[in-house]
Amino acid sequence: MPQFEFSTFLPQMVWLAIFFAVLYFGVVRLTLPKVGRVIEAREDQVSGDLSAAQGAKAESDRMAADYDAGVAAAQDAARARVAEARAAAALSIEAKLKASNAAIEAKSGAAQAELDAARSSALGEIEGVAASIAADIVERLTGERPAETVAAVAARGAIA
C-alpha cells in the first residue's frame, strides 16, 4: 500500500495540504459566501412574508370586527323596526277594538231598547188579556162583569 510507504509519505502530505488548501479556498471562500447570501435572502424573504402575513391578519381581524359591528348595528336596527311595527300594530288593533266595542255597544243599546219596547208591549198585552180573563172569571162566578179599569188594576197588581 502506497500510503504506508515512508518514502512517499512526505510528498503525499504536501499534495494533501495543497489539495486541502485549494478545496478549502475554493469551497469555503468562493462557494460558502454565495450560499450564505442565498440563506440570508431567504431569511429576509421569510421574515418579510411573516410580517406581511401578520399585517394581513391584523387587517382581516379589523375587517371582521367592523363586519361584526355592522351586523350588530343592523340587528339592532331590525329589532327597533320590529318593535315599532309591533307598537303600531298594537295601536291599530286597539283602535279597531275600540271601534268594534263602540259598534257593539250601540247595537247592544238598540237591541236593549227593542227588548224593553217588546217587553212593555208584551206586558201591556198580558195585562189586557189578564184583565179580560179576570173579568170573564168574575162574571161567571158572580154573574156581573166588573168595570174594565177595575179588572186592569187587579190584573196589574197580580202580575207585579
* Phi (first) and psi of residue 8, to 5 degrees: -105, 5
Residue 16 lies in domain? 2-113
Reported as a single tens digit per residue, the pLDDT across 3-19 is 667 777 788 889 899 99
pLDDT digits (tens, 9 = 90+) for 18-52: 999 988 887 788 887 888 899 999 999 999 999 99
Count: domains in the chain: 1
Long-range contact list for 19-28, CB < 8 A, 24+ apart?
none
Residue 1: pLDDT over 60: no
CA quadruple 22, 28, 33, 36: dihedral sign: positive
* 153 within some domain: no
Each residue of 31-47: b (16+ CB within 10 Å) or e?
eeeeeeeeeeeeeeeee
* Per-residue pLDDT at 75: 96
Residue 62 lies in a domain: yes
Angle at 55 between CA 50 and CA 57, to 5 degrees: 90
Judge whether 151 lies within some domain: no
Could you tell me if residue 158 is inside a domain? no
Q: What's the whole-model pTM score?
A: 0.44
**The predicted structure's pLDDT at residue 160:** 66
The predicted model gives 147-155 an average pLDDT of 83
Cα–Cα distance for residue pair 114/40, rounded to 1 Å: 108
Question: Cα separation of 88 and 140, whole Å?
Answer: 76
Q: What percent of the chain has pLDDT above 90?
A: 53
Show Cβ contacts of residue 9 under 8 Å, excluding neighbours closer than 6 positions. Answer: 3
pLDDT over 70, % of the chain: 97
Could you tell me if residue 120 is inside a domain? Answer: no
H/E stretch holding 101 = helix 32-142
If DSSP codes are grouped into helix, strand and coil, which group holds residue 144?
A: coil
Q: Which amino acid is at 88?
A: A
- 39-48 confidence digits (pLDDT tens): 999 999 999 9
Decide if 43 is inside a domain.
yes
- Distance, in Å, from the CA atom of 79 to the CA atom of 86, rounded to the nearest integer, reads 10
Query: Would 37 be classed as within a structural domain?
Result: yes
